Amino acid sequence: MSRRALLSVSDKRHLVDFAKQLKKLDFEIVSTGGTKKALEAGGVDVTGVEEVTGFPEMLDGRVKTLHPKIHAGILAKRDNPDHMKQLKDAGITPIDLVAVNLYPFKQTIEKPETTEAEAIEQIDIGGPSMLRAAAKNFAGVLTVVDPADYQPVVDALKAHTDDADFRKHLAAKVFRHTAAYDALISNYMTEEEFPEKLTLTYEKQQALRYGENSHQKAAFYRKALPSKLSIIPNQLHGKELSYNNIKDANAALNMVAEFDQPTVIAMKHMNPCGVGVADTIEKAWDEAYESDPMSIFGGIIAVNREIDAATAEKMHKIFLEIVIAPSYTDEAFEILAKKKNIRLLKADLSHRDQPDRFEEITVSGGMLIQESDHQIDQIPDFKVVTKVQPTEQQLRALQFGQHVVKHVKSNAVVVTTDTKTLGVGMGQPNRIDSAKIAIQKAMPKNGYENAIMASDAFFPMDDCVEYAAKHDIKAIIQPGGSIKDKDSIAMADKFGIAMVMTGVRHFRH
């Protein structure tokens, strides 16, 4: 008994071969527009959809398949005698297979020059309607939305293994596909920052060996339209990225992208353990390494300049998990790639001014969404609140420290010079403990005589300022805003410390 398949696709990969195999399985092929032309050019006998509906395409092809002779043929329940009688009485042939993929809306809006009118024309109407109808009636209709499924469908038809589970699997894929398609359209057209309904869509990038810990399953999904500042999919060498690798690499990339000077970031467990800036990337590496030679071991390194051979030789001497750079000289890449497991990533920092505008955090039963913290506090915005004025070098150091501290987990306090971190105190439940950790880590190091202290939030009491003063810190930067700011200012004046306030808090939880 002959069966009917409706094929209407924008992605014509493997289309002709699929249709020819269906013909061998005694399917009549019904098709539309460009798909019909492609099949005919490939030597496939095709019935035009207008021959089925008795109605020509109209409105420049906007109306082709939206017709009862198509949708009734798809939606009729094969095990419902009344449905089948209605089809017979209306002279409608059942449609047993629907292979459709949709207008390339995503590819269209990815082009910067696309106008809104051009984007709107790529919103498919008939395709999703047929797919959803076929997927709803999966018990009687095979649905194919992905060319990768053509051969599995043919194989199942030949082996008579196109059972309910197989059909349901294909139907679920259809609903995922159309939901993602609609999400792209709604997000493109939405102008509100926080609309009443938010639908995001992601595409599976890779399965991961495990999650944060070995007993947790995990996978990596990328946004369907990711920001141009991204680590994916540009791995050049090394082992597959793990769950923790991806989180740390993302944190390191977002941080290094905010620096203008040649900069090296060493990241561990989502916190910078060493940051260095200099006139060259090699010198910046030296500064970052000297920041914390112990913690950098096994770290994730991000740089904002091409890595040269001299820098690569120094990196090669220690164990590093990941190196991220905009490029590598051939010699540098060869040096680093001698270690087969090191992950070498390439990141296009020419788009560093286009990071994700919003960030999402899942919570039990929901999600928090906020604007990403892209605020970079500048020296002209600093307000000196003490009798002692900071020197030019201290101002540079304060700006550098402020730049670093916003990327450290709260409560965050860092001690820096104007070119490198000396101590990082993070994640403590009170600010004085973070200050003590940062200062104690900083004190033995070269450059401490020029150290400043930066805090991501205000000092609730004057104890942090007092502790800093007693350990020879000469300048402090903090947002201010505490009801006890005057106590911290008085303590700074008592010890002759310069202190500036920015008015901007940089919590990171």
Task: Please give, one letter per residue, the 3-state secondary structure of 254-317.
Answer: HHHCCCCCCEEEEEECCEEEEEEECCCHHHHHHHHHHHCCCCCCCEEEEECCCECHHHHHHHHC
Buried-exposed string 230-246: b where 16+ CB fall within 10 A, e elsewhere: bbbeebebbeebbbbbb
Q: What are the tokens at 286? A: 């030296």
Structure tokens at 425: 């105190």
Q: Which of 130, 158, 175 is nearest to 8 (CA)?
A: 130
What is the spatial distance between Cα 80 and Cα 72, in angstroms, rounded to a whole number?
13
Residue among 166, 30, 44 nearest 100 (CA): 30
List 12, 269, 316, 471, catalytic entry: 269
Of residues 264, 253, 267, the one with CA closest to residue 296: 267
Q: Which of 145, 128, 301, 126 is nearest to 231 (CA)?
A: 301
Hey, is 335 helix, strand or coil? helix
Active-site annotation holder among 12, 14, 23, 136: 136
Is residue 111 annotated as part of the catalytic site, yes or no? Answer: no
C-alpha distance from residue 432 to each of 274, 397, 459, 490 (Å): 21, 21, 9, 17
Answer yes or no: are the C-beta atoms of 272 and 404 closer than 8 Å: yes
Q: What is the dihedral of CA 478, 481, 483, 489, to 10 degrees?
A: 40
What is the spatial distance between Cα 400 and Cα 46, in angstroms, rounded to a whole number? 68
Give the other-Cβ count within 10 Å of 319's Cβ. 12
Rg (CA), the chain: 31
| Closest C-alpha among 169, 195, 165 to residue 183 | 195
Which amino acid belongs to residue 496? G
- Which amino acid is it at 235? Q
Q: Which residues of 75-89 are buried (b: 16+ CB within 10 A; e: fewer)?
A: bbeeeeeebeeebee
Q: What is the token pair recorded at 298?
A: 């096994």
Annotated catalytic residue 67: no
- The 3-state DSSP composition of the chain as helix, strand, coil percent (nearest 5) reads 40, 20, 40
Which backbone phi and psi does 321 adopt, to 5 degrees? -80, -45
Question: Prior bond to 233 cis, omega within 30?
Answer: yes
Amino acid at 395: L
CB atoms within 10 A of CB 353: 11
Catalytic amino acids?
136, 269
